[in-house]
Amino acid sequence: MYMKWPAHGGQPSKIFELTGINQNEKIYDFSANLNPLGPPRKIKQEFLQSFKQIQNYPDPDYMEATKLVSKHENLPEDHVLLTNGGAEAIFLIAHLFSGQKALVIEPTFSEYKRACEVYNIDVSSLSLSDDNHFTLPLESIVEKLHEVDIVFICRPNNPTGTMTSIDEMKIIIENASKYGTTIIVDEAFIHFAPSEYEDLTSLVETNHNLILLRSLTKIYSVPGLRLGYIIANQHKVNKLRSKQIPWSINGVVTSLLPYLFADETFIEHTKNWLKKQLIYMKAELTSLGFYVSPTVVNFYLLQDDHKNTEELFRFLLNHQLIPRHTQTFKELEGRYLRLAVRNEEENKYLLNVLRLWREQQ
C-alpha cells in the first residue's frame, strides 16, 4: 500500500494526493465519524452572534460552561474538566502519568500511544480478537493489571465500533483498584450508542481509579470547535487542571455551548435514526458478501471476503468515495476499511458503488 498515511480521517485531499487519483468537486467523505444529521439548527443561527467573543478573554475557569456540561451529564461540577477536544484530554492524562507504564487495547485510536510516547510512558498492548468479532480479551487484561499504572480502553471502540459491556468494565475497574492501576475509558462516541448500553458516569464517584473522556464534537458534528471534557473524582480533576495550559478553550466555543444543549431531543433523535440505518446497512452489506464489524455506533469496519482491501480502497476513491484506511491501526495494518454511517443518500451511493465492485469480481 501507500506511505505516509494520515493518522486521522477527514482529510480527503491528502488521500487523493497520496494515491494519485483525481478529486472531483463532489466527493463522499466516509472517513470522519461525525453525526450524519449535522449540527443542531440553533448553532447555525447563533454562530455569527458568537463572533463578538473574539474581542474578550474567556473565563480561565470556564465556570458557566462547566456548569452546563455537568448538568448535561448529571454530575457535580468538580467532577468535570473541559478540554480542547478529546486530544487535549488524552495528553493531559498522559502528562499526569509521565514516566510510568500503560496498557493499550488495540486496534484503537492512535493518540493514546502518541501521548504516551510524548510523556515517556512505556506502552504494552493487548489485542481485540478479530477472529471472534473483536471481542475484548478480558482475562488477559485482568492478568496484566498488576504490571501497569494505567489502561486505555476505547468504549465504544474506534475503529471497530464495538462496545465493552458495563459488567466487563466493572470487573476491570474492581481488579485494577487492587493494584492502584487507573482505568482511562474514552467514551467519545458514547452518545451514539443505543440507550440500553450504560455509560460509566455512575461508577466515577465510587471508583477513584476511573477516568472518563468525552467529546461533544462528534455527536454534534462540530469538529472545528474542539470541545471535550474529562470526568473523574474531584482530586484527579484538580491534578489534571493544574497541568492544563491557560485558556485552552476559546470563547467562541463556550458561547455556543448553551445552543448545543438547547434541543434536548437531539441525541435521542440521532440514536433512533442511526439504529434504523445501521440495521439497513448491515443487512445490505452482508448480502453483498462483505464482513461488517458488530458496531453499535456511527462507523464500522468493512472487509471483502476475498481480501481485496487495497483494490477496493482504490475502487471507492475512483468513485469519489473516501473510506478511512486502516494502515495506521495496529493489528489491522490495512486489512479492513473503516466507513462512517452517513446520511441516507450517501449510504445508498456507497451501496451502489459496492454493487458495481461486486459485479466486476
List the grid coordinates of 200. 460509566
Identify residue 316 by its one-letter amino acid code. L
Q: Which H or E run includes 166?
A: helix 166-177
Q: Are residues 131 and 217 in the same domain?
A: yes
Q: Residue 332's domain spans which residues?
A: 12-33+266-359
Digit-coded pLDDT (tens) for 185-214: 999 999 999 999 988 999 999 999 999 999
The set of cell numbers assigned to 94 is 498522559
Q: Which helix (H) or strand (E) holds 41?
A: helix 41-46
Give the integer Cα–Cα distance in Å for 158 and 264.
Answer: 26
What does the DSSP assignment read for 254-270?
Answer: HHHHHHHSS-TTHHHHH
- CA 205/CA 203 separation, integer angstroms: 6
Average pLDDT, the chain: 92
What average pLDDT does this structure show over 6-12?
59
Q: Is residue 119 part of a domain?
A: yes
Residue 351's H or E segment, with its range, is: helix 344-359
25 belongs to a structural domain? yes
Q: How confident is the model at residue 47 (pLDDT cuts 50, 70, 90)?
A: confident
Q: How many helices (DSSP H) and strands (DSSP E) are in the chain? A: 13, 12
- Taking the C-alpha atoms of residue 187 and residue 169, their distance in angstroms, rounded to an integer, is 12
Per the structure, the count of domains in the chain is 2
Last residue of a domain, one of 260, 293, 328: 260
pLDDT at 342: 96
Per residue in 298-330, pLDDT (tens digit) is 999 999 976 789 899 999 999 999 999 898 898
Say if residue 249 is in the same domain as residue 327.
Answer: no
Quick one: cell of 2? 501507500
Same domain, 190 and 166: yes
Q: What is the pLDDT of residue 94?
A: 98
The pair phi, psi for residue 27, each rounded to 5°, is -125, 165
- For residue 9, pLDDT over 70 is answered with no
User: Is the confidence at residue 29, as pLDDT, over 60?
Assistant: yes
What pLDDT is attached to residue 99? Answer: 98
% of the chain surpassing 90 pLDDT: 76
**pLDDT exceeds 50 at position 1:** no
Q: Which residues pair with 154 in a beta bridge?
A: 186
Give a yes or no: residue 5 inside a domain: no
Coil/strand/helix, residue 302: strand
Residues 187 and 241 in one domain: yes
